[in-house]
Structure 1
Amino acid sequence: MQLNANFPSDGETIAGILFRPDGAQGKLPTVICAGGWCYTKEIVLPHIARIVNEGGVQVLAFDYVGFGESSGMRRQHLDPWQQISDYRNALTYAESRDDVDSLRLGCLGISYSGGHVLILAAIDSRIKSVVSIVPVVDGYNNLRRAHGERRFADLKAAILHDRRNRAGGKEGRIAMASRTPYDELSVWPFPRVNEVFMQVKQNEAPLHEHWSTMESAELLLNYSVSPFLPRVINTSVMMIVAEEDNITAWDLEALAFNQITSPAKQIEILRGVSHMSLYSDRTDTNIAAVHAKEWFSKML
């Protein structure tokens, strides 16, 4: 069962969907989730939510401020701390609902939001458990590795050029991914990313826009979850990584996992799975979703 679930966030209105198990009665443990780079709530999250529902856990998925159906004058701007604030405001909204057990709240994130939920686990004591799927954990090293030294220098130069232009009131934009990454700068220079997200836009998520502000890329360069991981003590954490992930880099993710202090932690390595097959191959999506269902059913 799907219910519209809109709520305020820092002066804007967030559009959300509550996925509730069919026939469920009373208060349920509830997982808050949002997507990664330029996602809307229709991308992957509904597939994961339906499987998590099978464990008796409901899921609230939402669009960040400035994305999808949520309000926000500045569109397609990814400020990680605003997105983390949106998550926290979603938690506050969930606490207010009569069908939510406010003592059993969790968070799930994928890709960029996979990093966000690790930070949330450190800073918001309402969260009892998180699942982090193929997370971005170190923006600088992630992008340097993804672009290679020469194109990474081009990206940094473009970001600096945009900063100078913003001082004069002109904001630039950059593609999320390009099919010709040596001809067109993008944040994620993988043709497969563009190909898959264009398919997703056509079939599932028409409000997806395949670009962001250039400042979003600048903010990503300064994004790191590492300072927060030793503070994750009382929250249970599952990290799901893909063995063939050359986008967010599962070796960086494994290093981050080892920094988490909590004894209630588990890492699942999906053999033969890539970052993008989690979106394009429903079998791979379902494998990750089943891990999430089992974790939340146990921990919440």
Structure 2
Amino acid sequence: MSQTIHFDSDGRTLVGTLFLPEDHQDGRRHPALVMLAPMGGYKEHAPYHYAPKFAQHGYAVLAFDYSFYGESQGEPRTLEDPFAKLEDIRNAVTFLTLRQEVDAERIGLWGVCAGGGYAFHAAIGDRRVKAVGTASAMIDLAGMVTGGHGGDWRALMAAAGAARTAYARGEKAQVVPFLPPIGDDGPWRNARSFYTDPERNRVQGWKDQNVIWSYDKLVHWNPNEYVHMVAPTPILLCAGRDAETVQQSLTAHERGGDNTELFLLDGALHFDLYDQDRYTDPVVTRAAEFFARNL
């Protein structure tokens, strides 16, 4: 069972869906999970795939659109602002603590791709979060920017600053493509297999774009530098052994110390853990057991 919900985040109304176990009864409180979408993603991109699966394991699950995306408020649209997303996550946790269906002492985060990095950072400062799980974590967004995603990063910073000035003058927000160029062999090379397939990307009207000054924010974002600070909150890192981004999870596991667990799946690539049942089903089984121990 599910219901549309709304909550406030720094003056913006965010829209989401709360999934409950089918056997939910009035007066019963469940452990809860907040689903965190990938960079550039809506609640339909991975969160809607995972949420019903976790609900079947007895969790109340919240999937929502971040500020500037989907049904949620925020201008300009498609601004990828990790710092605003951090507040969105904290406000989502607050929303759950006030719900009668939720045990406020048993709340965890589940992040996919960049949502994994957002989850780490949120858990450092919000000790209401009792456990963090990730799938295909893309944590070092600063490294993504300085590594050439979007072109020469210093030139990109200059362009972002100029675009901010133009926007302040009343011009439209300048956007750049979200997807890498065809033929790119970097860690996002399989992105098109997900976002351009209507059977996988089910968001009508999804746009291949980010506001250009997203990048002068992302260049500051590498939670792997701080992952050790999540302790003692436990972390589960799930990734494809053959994924383009698997090193991100391996690094987080190394830096996170004894409170981290690592689950690698043979044959899985980065985007396989968004929505491919043959990989996500064993991930959810492992994650449900992890959350059962730690929430």
TM-score, shorter chain, exceeding 0.5: yes
Q: Per-residue CA shift, 1:258-299, capped at 9, x if unaligned?
A: 2114x3421111111001222363322323222222222222
Q: Conserved in 1, the CA contact under 8 Å of 2:136 and 2:271?
A: no
**Bigger mean CA offset, 285-294 vs 29-38:** 285-294
1:250 matched residue in structure 2: 246
Q: Per-residue CA shift, 1:182-214, capped at 9, x if unaligned?
A: 7xxxx9762x31242122477622253221111
Q: Conserved in 2, the CA contact under 8 Å of 1:47 and 1:286?
A: no
CA distance, structure 1, for counterparts of residue 69 and residue 187 of structure 2: 19
Q: Conserved in 2, the CA contact under 8 Å of 1:177 and 1:188?
A: no
Give 3-state SS (helix, strand or coil) of 1:180's partner: coil
**Pick aligned residue for 1:265 from 260, 265, 273:** 260
**Pick aligned residue for 2:285 from 266, 290, 298:** 290
- In structure 2, stretches of 5+ residues that fail to align are none
Q: Conserved in 1, the CA contact under 8 Å of 2:46 and 2:112?
A: no
Q: Conserved in 2, the CA contact under 8 Å of 1:39 and 1:208?
A: no
Q: Per-residue CA shift, 1:144-199, capped at 9, x if unaligned?
A: 5575xxx742x5423422322322335321111145367xxxx9762x31242122
CA distance, structure 2, for counterparts of residue 280 and residue 104 of structure 1: 26
TM-score normalized by the length of structure 1: 0.88
1:1-300 pair list within 5 angstroms: 1-25=1-25, 26-145=28-147, 147=149, 152-153=151-152, 155-169=153-167, 170=171, 171-180=173-182, 190=189, 192-200=190-198, 204-246=202-244, 249-261=245-257, 263-279=258-274, 281-300=276-295
**1:110 CA drift (Å):** 0.6
Letter in 2 for 1:27: R
Q: Per-residue CA shift, 1:77-130, capped at 9, x if unaligned?
A: 011010010000001111111111001011110111110111122110100011
CA distance, structure 2, for counterparts of residue 122 and residue 176 of structure 1: 28
CA distance, structure 1, for counterparts of residue 200 and residue 136 of structure 2: 24
- In structure 1, stretches of 5+ residues that fail to align are none
- RMSD, aligned CA: 2.3
Give 3-state SS (helix, strand or coil) of 2:226's partner: helix
Q: Conserved in 2, the CA contact under 8 Å of 1:107 and 1:131?
A: yes
Q: Conserved in 2, the CA contact under 8 Å of 1:14 and 1:62?
A: yes
Q: Aligned pairs, how many?
A: 288
TM-score normalized by the length of structure 2: 0.89
CA distance, structure 2, for counterparts of residue 136 and residue 203 of structure 1: 19
Q: What is the percentage of aligned positions where both structures have the same residue?
A: 24
CA distance, structure 1, for counterparts of residue 58 and residue 291 of structure 2: 9
Q: Conserved in 2, the CA contact under 8 Å of 1:55 and 1:294?
A: no
Query: 1:16 and 1:280, CA in 2 relative to 1: closer, same or farther beyond 3 A?
Result: closer
Query: 1:233 and 1:278, CA in 2 relative to 1: closer, same or farther beyond 3 A?
Result: closer
CA distance, structure 1, for counterparts of residue 226 and residue 156 of structure 2: 30
Give 3-state SS (helix, strand or coil) of 2:130's partner: strand
Query: 1:36 and 1:189, CA in 2 relative to 1: closer, same or farther beyond 3 A?
Result: closer
CA distance, structure 1, for counterparts of residue 216 and residue 279 of structure 2: 31
